[in-house]
């Protein structure tokens, strides 16, 4: 396929689609246009460059920058109402710059570079459309691979605004059918909030605050001093500002505040992430967090942005109204104290805090908290904390550091930790079916930013099984172990640690398993143009998978979250069938072929399974 090929499989633009619809329903569309023009002009302005990639008004499953495990959401998730196979359109003219297919992540994704300096990304697709689909299919067969990541350094296929580039789906680690959509700065790769380009849903609902957390600071982090539930019985509404009835009593000390806050877009029960929140002290801004853009390598700072220990235990995310130590996220505007409030230096003993939360449509929620500074007194919580770290070793952020024990060596990267850590490295009795001592390294309730090197000396394994050894991890609360990777090297099993917790060495000698997925309805099985298999691995995970039909390689689709591989009948099925027909007696109407599937896990354990398959 030539790189100069023009790709126009679906030339219908949003404008022409609206024109066609308006002919059928002129009054309804005129009303919609006037409504959008008067109340949401930013939505219409999006049509000046980027169009909405689906045939609907913007409907968000998840907004830009939503709070996720270990990352901020790097785009917007667009609702497809539980359906797959909806047409996905190019948001603007451009060229396809990258195609990535993986069993996890965005699954089937396509990247388009536009002449205005931005690129758009479309993830979790079910399938691709047109010449790009043909190119992908050929590339996968030539390279005998399902997964690949192809970046085009020269112009590849051109697209026009409104071209159908694929079909919405549920591929990768998607939790349900939807379209993941991003706008990136092409040069810097920073992710932009699509709302800045007019892709804003109709929204008249205000955000809200459910809870306030009040902290004091200690060397290793935070002391949670008080929680305030924000409820109708604890607040009064005065001039569009909610005011807490009770005055907050604070010590003459330095404090930080955090809030549990949500936005509502399409209904008052569907909690979404916040676009912007701020804190003012006696009318003076001290902190503001605004989600307009961020870089991919910043995303894990979410673990310093939220109260991470609280989230680990309570499963709700408290967003800090100050920049904590080690947090380099670029979305903040603060005073010189980075949002920390020093009540010990206040001239007046009383004052007010104002929390302001808003969405992109400027729906705004205000919450006022009056405070009073009390007399100095000993802090029992701080004294208990200081006693708890007595005798413990200390790790400092920003430094390479070595932690050693009997049979274990850990090397921390300068970016491994956000803040000072007082830790213990404990040696425990080995678990059953493990091949080293078990080591407890601090607590999983403290986050890790960059993975650290870890090496453990194994023992008790049979000679010749060195390449089957692997690091294993648990949270210390249960005996459940999961693979942490690693390889045997010079008498040690070496790998990376992504969390504080418990580590040991395990052995993986068990090959993956496979079984056909049978349809309960025989008619459906006869009509289907696909074969499905469930594949599982007990520990380190499936790393390679290949299938052959009468020794001819065939393309499998791997659905990681459902542990399923699928062969969709293609030209290889037809070729094998024709070859068999030419070499067998005409009287034999049934045609069978040998389907060989080979699975391999991360430790090289291999399963080869043969299935006699009837070709219909």
Distance CA 253, CA 215 (A): 10
Q: Across the chain, what does the average pLDDT equal?
A: 90
8 A C-beta contact, residue 428 and residue 438 = yes
Residues of the chain with pLDDT > 70: what percent?
90
At 81-131, the pLDDT tens digits run: 999 999 999 999 999 999 999 999 999 999 999 999 999 999 999 999 999
Would you list the domain boundaries of the chain?
6-197, 208-382, 391-507, 513-614
- Kindly indicate the confidence band of residue 32, based on its pLDDT and cuts at 50, 70 and 90: very low
Q: How much is the pLDDT for 585? A: 65
At 371-427, the pLDDT tens digits run 999 999 999 999 999 999 999 999 999 999 999 999 999 999 999 999 999 999 999
Domain 208-382 has CATH 2.40.480: no
Which residues, including other chains, have CB under 8 Å from residue 33's CB and lie 6 or more apart? 44
519: confidence class by pLDDT, cuts 50, 70, 90: low
pLDDT tens by residue, 584-612: 766 567 789 999 999 999 999 999 999 99
- CATH superfamily of the 6-197 domain: Glucose Permease (Domain IIA) (2.70.70.10)
CA distances from 313 to 75, 307, 446, 480, 574 (A): 27, 10, 11, 18, 55
DSSP-derived secondary structure for 263-314: EESSSTT-EE--SEEEEEETTEEEEEEE-SEE-GGGGGGHHHHB-HHHHHHH
Rounded mean pLDDT, 142-154 = 96
For residues 523-550, give the mean pLDDT: 87
Q: If pLDDT is split at 50, 70 and 90, which confidence band does 46 have? A: very low
pLDDT digits (tens, 9 = 90+) for 246-257: 999 999 999 999
Residue 39 has pLDDT above 70, yes or no: no
Three-class secondary structure of residue 224 per DSSP: strand
pLDDT on residue 366: 98
Domain spanning 513-614, CATH class = mainly beta
* Same fold? 391-507, 513-614: no
pTM of the model: 0.88
SS3 401: strand
- The dihedral region occupied by 239, where left means phi > 0, alpha psi between -120 and 50, and beta the remainder, is left
- For range 433-458, the mean pLDDT: 96
For 391-507, CATH number out of 2.60.40.10, 2.40.128.110, 3.40.50.2300, 2.60.220.30 equals 2.60.220.30
**322-336: pLDDT as tens digits:** 999 889 999 999 999
Element (H, E) at 576: helix 571-582
Q: What is the pLDDT of residue 582?
A: 85
DSSP 15-68: HHHHHHHHHHSHHHHHHHHHHHHHH-HHHHHGGGSPPPSSSSS--EEE-TT-EE
Residue 269's pLDDT is 85
pLDDT in tens, 209-256: 999 999 999 877 899 999 999 999 999 999 999 999 999 999 999 999
Distance CA 533, CA 600 (A): 15
pLDDT value at 18 more than 50: no
């Amino acid at each position: 396929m030539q790189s100069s090929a023009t790709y126009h499989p679906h030339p219908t633009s949003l404008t022409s689609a609206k024109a066609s619809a308006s002919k059928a329903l002129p009054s309804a569309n005129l009303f919609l246009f006037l409504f959008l023009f008067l109340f949401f002009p930013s939505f219409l302005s999006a049509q000046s460059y980027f169009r909405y990639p689906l045939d609907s008004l913007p409907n968000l499953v998840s907004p830009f920058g939503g709070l996720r495990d270990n990352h901020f959401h790097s785009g917007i998730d667009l609702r497809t109402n539980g359906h797959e196979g909806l047409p996905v359109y190019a948001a603007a003219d451009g060229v396809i710059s990258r195609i990535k297919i993986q069993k996890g992540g965005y699954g089937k994704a396509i990247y388009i570079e536009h002449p205005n300096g931005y690129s758009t990304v479309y993830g979790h697709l079910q399938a691709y459309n047109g010449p790009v689909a043909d190119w992908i299919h050929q590339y996968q067969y030539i390279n005998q691979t399902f997964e690949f990541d192809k970046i085009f350094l020269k112009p590849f296929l051109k697209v026009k605004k409104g071209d159908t580039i694929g079909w919405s789906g549920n591929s990768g680690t998607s939790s349900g059918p939807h379209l993941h959509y991003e706008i990136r700065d092409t040069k810097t790769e920073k992710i932009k909030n699509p709302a800045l380009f007019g892709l804003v849903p109709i929204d008249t609902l205000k955000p809200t605050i459910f809870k306030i957390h009040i902290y004091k600071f200690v060397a290793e982090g935070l002391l949670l001093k008080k929680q305030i539930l924000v409820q109708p019985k604890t607040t009064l509404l005065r001039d569009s500002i909610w005011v807490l009835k009770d005055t907050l009593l604070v010590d003459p000390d330095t404090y930080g505040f955090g809030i549990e806050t949500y936005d509502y877009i399409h209904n008052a029960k569907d909690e979404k992430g916040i676009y912007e929140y701020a804190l003012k002290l006696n009318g003076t801004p001290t902190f503001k967090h605004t989600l307009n853009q961020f870089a991919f390598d910043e995303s894990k700072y979410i673990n310093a942005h939220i109260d991470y220990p609280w989230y680990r235990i309570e499963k709700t995310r408290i967003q800090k109204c100050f920049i904590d130590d080690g947090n380099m996220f670029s979305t903040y505007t603060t005073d010189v104290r980075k949002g920390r409030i020093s009540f010990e230096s206040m001239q007046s003993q009383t004052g007010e805090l104002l929390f302001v939360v808003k969405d992109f449509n400027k729906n705004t929620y205000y919450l006022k908290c009056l405070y009073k500074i009390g007399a100095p007194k000993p802090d029992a919580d701080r004294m208990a904390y200081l006693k708890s770290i007595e005798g413990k070793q200390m790790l400092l952020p920003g430094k390479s550091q070595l932690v050693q024990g009997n049979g274990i060596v850990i090397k921390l990267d300068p970016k491994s930790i956000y803040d000072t850590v007082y830790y213990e490295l404990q040696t425990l009795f080995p678990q059953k079916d493990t091949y080293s001592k078990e080591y407890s390294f601090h607590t999983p309730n403290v986050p890790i930013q960059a993975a650290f090197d870890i090496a453990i000396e194994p023992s008790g394994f049979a000679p010749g099984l060195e390449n089957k050894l692997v690091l294993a991890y648990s949270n210390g609360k249960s005996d459940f172990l999961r693979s942490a990777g690693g390889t045997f090297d010079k008498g040690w099993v070496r790998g990376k640690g992504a969390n504080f917790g418990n580590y040991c060495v395990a052995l993986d000698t068990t090959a993956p398993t496979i079984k056909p997925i049978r349809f309960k309805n025989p008619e459906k099985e006869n009509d289907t143009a696909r074969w499905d298999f469930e594949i599982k691995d007990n520990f380190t995970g499936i790393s390679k998978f290949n299938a052959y039909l009468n020794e001819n390689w065939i393309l499998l689709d791997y659905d990681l979250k459902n542990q399923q591989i699928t062969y969709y009948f293609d030209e290889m099925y037809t070729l094998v069938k024709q070859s068999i027909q030419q070499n067998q007696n005409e009287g034999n109407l049934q045609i069978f072929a040998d389907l060989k599937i080979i699975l391999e896990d991360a430790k090289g354990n291999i399963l080869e399974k043969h299935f006699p398959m009837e070709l219909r």
